[in-house]
Every structure is written in C-alpha cells, then in structure tokens.
Amino acid sequence: GQQLNQSPQSMFIQEGEDVSMNCTSSSIFNTWLWYKQDPGEGPVLLIALYKAGELTSNGRLTAQFGITRKDSFLNISASIPSDVGIYFCAGDLFNNDMRFGAGTRLTVKP
C-alpha cells in the first residue's frame, strides 16, 4: 500500500540543537499525525494536524500540515537528551486508511 516517505532516516545532534524532519507522499491526506517511540515502548501521539496549512505547537515541538496535503514537517527546538527515540509520521487517507512513515531515529549527544 501507499507508504509515506520520511526523512532523514536518522539524525545525530548535540544537545541544544534544533531538529527538523519531514514526510512526503504522492497521495493527499486528510490528517497528519506525528508519533514518538521511546526505546522498548509503543508509539505515543505528539501532534495531530487536521487542516491544510495548519501549524501546531506542543512545547518545543512544532508541526505543519502542508498546503498541498501531501507533506508535513516536525521541528524540535533546543533538543534535550530525552528527545532520543524514533519519530513517525502517519497520515490518514480520506477513506480512514492510516499509513506510517519508516521513522526518523534521533540521537542526542549531551
């Protein structure tokens, strides 16, 4: 089935740096979601986006729903060690079919 193209696959950054990751697709999505997976745990929802062009923040996290409905980005500002994990984008196609990106593995060096 249609998958989302998520990049980068992995990132190694210094504590305090900003982070940016994105997801693109050839399909139009109704909703974009960003999840974080801590080691040994299941994914947890960070941000949900429902309207094209929507920009939403959750603490140090900011995500945007692309105007074409085919892409989304997630930014993390001033990273801290507990930001380590795998970040997944997920999109809900208009038929309520959820698709996930392959994930971005984030490593933060103290």
Question: What span, in angstroms and rounded, lies between the C-alpha atoms of 105 and 71?
Answer: 19
* Residue among 14, 42, 59, 82 that touches another protein (CB under 8 A): 42
Piece of 11-19, 55-63, 72-80, 94-102 that binds another protein (CB under 8 A): 94-102
Nearer residue to another protein within complex by CB, 13 or 102 = 102
Closest CA to 70 of 39, 93, 103: 93
Give the range of 13-21, 26-34, 62-70, 75-83 binding another protein by CB under 8 A.
26-34
The answer to whether the CB of 103 falls within 8 A of the CB of 6 is yes
97 binds another protein, rule: CB under 8 A? yes
d(CA 104, CA 97): 22
Among 22, 31, 64, 72, binds another protein (CB under 8 A): 31
Name every residue whose Cβ is closer than 8 Å to that of residue 94 and which is 6 or more positions away in sequence: 28, 29, 30
Q: Does 84 sit near another protein (CB under 8 A)?
A: no
* 55 is a contact residue toward another protein (CB under 8 A): no
